[in-house]
Amino acid sequence: EKAYQIKELGLDFKGKTFGNFKELALFRSLNGGNGRETMTNNRSVFMQSNFDTIQLPEGLKLVPHSMFRQAVGKKVILPASIEIIDELVFHAASIDNLVILSDKVVNAQRYWALLYMRVKGVYVQEHLVEEYKNTVPWNSVKKFIYPLNELSRL
């Protein structure tokens, strides 16, 4: 059986409406060519789209520029491997629940990564809740930051 490396999705969901895309998590290697696992060739891929749940793949370290800009969704799940949220990723997005599985505070590049983001809950590791609430730009949504174990109450 052959295994193939996906370098880019080659799909554009910009402005589209769709249900769940949990299968995106099955893409194990999305190499942007800069030595880090990224999806830089897929920036803005979900911009202005409407969706239920999108789960980004484990191994991904950077959420690319404008990926969810002005999108409307029920849930976005970022894997434990995520380290950086690039500029404008959630700018003016309306995401009910943002789930961050990383065991470290994710670096959101500049305040506009989350600027005008509307969110009902940002769920993080329990030991990181206060750190997120006190870290720029996460402090802009601090009243919506909860421990992961509270996600099950939904």
| Token pair listed for 50 | 């409407």
How confident is residue 141, by pLDDT bands cut at 50, 70 and 90? very high
- 109-130 as b/e: b if 16+ CB within 10 A: beebbbbebebebbbbbeebbe
User: What's the mean pLDDT in 71-83?
Assistant: 95
> Residue 52 gets which letter from DSSP?
E
Helices (H), 15-138: 129-133
- Residue 91: per-residue pLDDT: 96
Q: 42 near 63, Cβ under 8 Å?
A: no
Residue 69 has pLDDT above 60, yes or no: yes
Residue 101 has pLDDT above 90, yes or no: yes
- Residue 154: per-residue pLDDT: 58
The CA distance from 83 to 60, in Å, is 8
The CA distance from 26 to 38, in Å, is 15
- Residue 16: per-residue pLDDT: 59
**pLDDT averaged over the chain?**
81
Residue 20 has pLDDT above 80, yes or no: no
- Residue 38: per-residue pLDDT: 47
How confident is residue 79, by pLDDT bands cut at 50, 70 and 90? very high
Residue 27 has pLDDT above 50, yes or no: no
User: What's the mean pLDDT in 82-109?
Assistant: 96
pLDDT top residue among 44 and 96 = 96
Q: 21 near 42, Cβ under 8 Å?
A: no
Give me the amino acid identity at 77: I
